[in-house]
Structure 1
Amino acid sequence: EKLAADRITAPIVGHVGDGNFHCLLLVDMDNPDEVHRAEGFVGWLNDLAISMDGTCTGEHGIGQGKAKYLERELGPEAMVMMQAIKRGIDPLNIMNPGKMGLG
C-alpha cells in the first residue's frame, strides 16, 4: 500500500525462510520528485523494520545507503565500538574507506 501511495514501482523479492526481503525500487534518477519519494519510502521502510526489532542491514552487511539507519538500530555505543574495531584493523582507512562513519 505504501509503495502505491507513494507512486513507486518496486518489485519485492524475499527469502521466505528467514524473513528477509528486498524492495527493488525502479527510480528515474533524473526526476527529483521521484527520487525524493523513493528516499522517503526507504526511510519509512527502515524505520518500520527497526520498530519491529528487525534490521536495516541486508544479509551482506550494511550498504552505503542504509548506513545512516544503523545507529538508530544499534545505538551510539555500538557505533563507537564498531568504529574502534575498524580503526584497529584498518588504521589507514584503506579497506572500505568511509564505512562506519570514518572517512
Structure 2
Amino acid sequence: MPEQTPEMLLEAAALLRRQDVVLSPAEDGGVTLMASRCPWPDLADLPWSTPELGRALAERCTGAGLEVGTMTPCADVDEWADLERLRTTLATDLREPQQALHKLIRELLR
C-alpha cells in the first residue's frame, strides 16, 4: 500500500521475527500487507476482495498451525473515495514513488 510508511514495514519485519505470519488489517476488513516466513497454506478459496478476508486469512493460517501477528491497520484503495483520500495523503509524502503516484492520481481525478 502506498500509505504504508517505512516505520510500518519495520514493524512488520520485527513481528515476523517472532511470528510465522504477519498481517496488516485494512480498515474495511481486508488486509494491506501479508508476510510469511514459511510456506502459506492453501489460500485459493479465501473470500478475496471482501470484508471477511482478514478474518478468514488469519483463521486459515492459525488452522495450519502458524502463529499470526497483527500490525497497525492501514487504509486500502477499493473505491473512488479511497483514491481521493490517497491523493490527499500522498500530497505531503516526499518519497519519490509516492510523489510519482500522486502525480498520476491528480491527472486521473481531473
TM-score normalised to the size of structure 2? 0.29
Higher relative contact order (CA 8 A, sep 6+): 2
Answer 1 or 2: which has greater strand percent: 2
TM-score normalised to the size of structure 1? 0.31
